[in-house]
Amino acid sequence: AQSVTQPDIHITVSEGASLELRCNYSYGATPYLFWYVQSPGQGLQLLLKYFSGDTLVQGIKGFEAEFKRSQSSFNLRKPSVHWSDAAEYFCAVGARNNAGNMLTFGGGTRLMVKP
Amino acid sequence: GAGVSQSPSNKVTEKGKDVELRCDPISGHTALYWYRQRLGQGLEFLIYFQGNSAPDKSGLPSDRFSAERTGESVSTLTIQRTQQEDSAVYLCASSLTRTSGGGAQYFGPGTRLLVL
């Protein structure tokens, strides 16, 4: 069964600083990979997804993520954080051979942005 | 509608009562998913529908939980004889099909359930 680990429960960065949120997954083959963001009181919004091809994927709001097979990682990055990026971020894995395509989520990383 | 909608947005109930949570997926999305998010935790998969059938019920935590979907549209998650540990946010998601594009799922705002 697949699993996802987000090692950082909380991260605080200054506005304008760069950001990297870590995500490691466990799966026997190449999975589908996703990053979602959840703002307070709101549902999850899809930031970006990796299915195949170019391992560097671009998403909304200036985010990008890089799939590294050798490290079983899919870290999320942003070059310059804005105060509105403060939220909780979830990495998720979908198995390619899973008939249901249900997602397995990491525990989340809560991002705080200092002015 | 433009996105997935869920109702009610909040539900407070007494232990032992039954509750029904509703999900309206994005129009044309054939796959529908229910997840549960306990306070401060990630999402747990509950059940998945392809059309009106539920081939994967593996995530339902007990036989008090059931779900149905009609008309390949609206889904209802029912929790019978609620317990305090059922308190959580229940999130619904839909995707165009179960396999297209890796099945990117689009989530509703959730129903926050509190069992007293």
Q: In sequence order, what DSSP letters do the residues of chain B get, joined into one string?
A: --S-EEE-SEEEE-TT--EEEEEEPPTT--EEEEEEE-TTS-EEEEEEEETTEEEE-TT--STTEEEEE-TTS-EEEEE-S--GGG-EEEEEEEESSSSGGGG--EE---EEEEE-
Q: Taking 60 as the threshold, does the pLDDT of residue A72 lie above it?
A: yes
pLDDT digits (tens, 9 = 90+) for A13-71: 999 999 999 999 998 777 889 999 998 877 889 999 998 889 999 999 999 999 999 99
Do residues A5 and A71 lie in contact, with contact meaning Cβ atoms separated by under 8 Å?
Answer: no
Over residues B69-89, the mean pLDDT reads 95
Contact at CB, A105 and B99, closer than 8 angstroms:
no
What local confidence, expressed as pLDDT, does residue B54 receive?
Answer: 84
Is residue A87 helix, strand or coil?
A: strand
Query: Which chain A residues are within 8 Å of B110, Cβ to Cβ?
Result: 43
Q: What is the mean pLDDT of residues B22-47?
A: 90
Give the pLDDT score at B28. Answer: 87
Total residue count of chain A as it appears in this document = 115
Two tokens, residue B54: 């539920």
How high is the pLDDT of residue B1?
A: 52
Region A77-104: mean pLDDT is 85
For residues B71-76, average pLDDT: 91
Please report residues of A whose CB lies closer than 8 A to that of B105.
34, 46, 103
- Whether pLDDT at B93 is above 80: yes
The pLDDT, as a whole number, for residue B107 is 92
**Residue A98 scores a pLDDT above 60:** no
The answer to whether the Cβ–Cβ distance between A108 and B41 falls below 8 Å is: yes
More confident: A96 or B82: B82
- Answer whether residue A99 shows pLDDT above 70: no
| Residue B26 banded pLDDT, cuts 50, 70, 90 | very high
Distance from CA of A17 to the nearest CA of B (A): 26
Contact B29, B108 (CB under 8 A): no
- Give the best residue of A3, A24, A102, A105 to mutate against chain B (max B CB count within 10 A): A102
Instruction: Pick the most confident of A94-103, B16-25, B31-40, B50-59.
Output: B16-25
Minimal C-alpha gap between B114 and chain A (Å): 15
Across the A:B interface, residue pairs with CB atoms under 8 Å apart total 65
Question: What pLDDT, on a 0 to 100 scale, did the predictor assign at position A40?
Answer: 80
- pLDDT number for residue A78: 98
Do residue B107 and residue A45 have CB atoms under 8 angstroms apart?
yes
pLDDT of the residue at A100: 54
- Residue B99 and residue B28: Cα distance in Å, rounded? 14
Calculate mean pLDDT across residues B43-62. 87
| pLDDT, average across residues B92-107 | 75
Q: Is the pLDDT of residue B103 over 70?
A: no
Considering CB atoms only, which of B99, B102, B107 is closest to A43? Answer: B107
